Amino acid sequence: MAGMGMAAAAAWDPCRRWGRMAVSFGFHRSFSALLARKPQHAPRRRPAFRQKTSISFLSRPDLPHLAYKRLKGKSPGIIFIPGYMSNMNGTKALAIEEFCKSLGHAYIRFDYSGVGNSDGNLQECTVGRWRKDVLSVIDDLAVGPQILVGSSLGGWLMLHAAIARPQRVVALIGIASAVDGLVTKFNQLPVEAKKEIEMKGVWSMPSKYSEEGAYHIQYSFLKEAEYHCLLHSPIPVNCPVRLLHGMEDDIVSWHTSMQVADRVISKDVDVILRKHSDHRMKEKADLQLLVYTIDDLIDKLSTVVN
């Protein structure tokens, strides 16, 4: 980790109340300080009008229309980027929405092409197309600077968005970030298994999160995804990065978040590990940690965006 430009080794800060460990890279106010500052109550709440969010659609020439829900509000705005085959109505997406309502901050959640209420054929979708979806949301829906919150696959796509839109993306929060995830899993298979998948044209990847017990991933999807891998070289992201990960995640190892922390060139990086959390990180304490992290970044950025 010497390549991260640290003047001192990463410090592990166990916190009994949260059941997690925090690894801080850089010299900003740590998450431990935030917990000490707000030990017994929820993040600051300000009076705000209760907004009802209805589904809207973003029309794009030659691309599928994207379903989204948006709250108007203050900057920086927050955009939630869901995981593989997940939609905008998940537990984390809704928890962030309620939090943004309480603060009066702008918020957008959306469905990828071919998923949920968005148009498009899932069989034709790729990591590259979903990357375009994220950029469309930033370019055509969001106003001003944005904090991106990416879950699983969304943690991969948020990095691509930060690289492509460095003036708009002011901070990143990854939840069990699956950077290069599907490609890495495929490459770990035996040679014989990979050849069989290539012949069949589809990989039935076992998953306890699929109703069928497996996700059926096109071989062409995997090959296209290889063009978007990031962990093989330094990742040109300079904004603050917070990476949350459960140590009981059996889908994406928490070591992936450590790799991301090592690869991004930003000096303002925290990895926060929860000892007993799984891949979805949707238990009450996980959601508390998530909104505290958003709250902390809003505080940190307020002097920049105001």
Q: Pairing between strand 63-71 and 56-60? A: antiparallel
56-179+231-304 — its CATH code? 3.40.50.1820
Q: Is 270 a catalytic residue?
A: no
pLDDT at 25: 47
For residue 276, how many other CB atoms are within 10 A of its CB? Answer: 12
Contact 61/132 with Cβ under 8 angstroms?
no
Which one of 105, 277, 279, 295 is the catalytic residue? 279
Q: Is 152 a catalytic residue?
A: yes
Q: State what percent of residues in the chain have pLDDT above 70.
A: 81
Contact 157/150 with Cβ under 8 angstroms?
yes
- Contact residues for 171 (Cβ-Cβ < 8 A; gap 6+): 76, 147, 148, 239, 240, 241, 242, 297, 300, 301
Instruction: Give dist(CA 95, CA 72) in Å, integer.
Output: 17
pLDDT confidence tier of residue 304, bands split at 50, 70 and 90: low
**pLDDT single digits (tens) 223-274:** 999 999 999 999 999 999 999 999 999 999 999 999 999 999 999 999 999 9
Which one of 86, 151, 152, 257 is the catalytic residue? 152
Please check the confidence at residue 18 and state whether its pLDDT lies above 60: no
CATH 3.40.50.1820 residue window(s) in the chain: 56-179+231-304
Q: Is 65 a catalytic residue?
A: no
For residue 65, how many other CB atoms are within 10 A of its CB? Answer: 15
pLDDT at 206: 86
**Looking at residues 154-175, what average pLDDT do you find?**
98
Please check the confidence at residue 112 and state whether its pLDDT lies above 50: yes
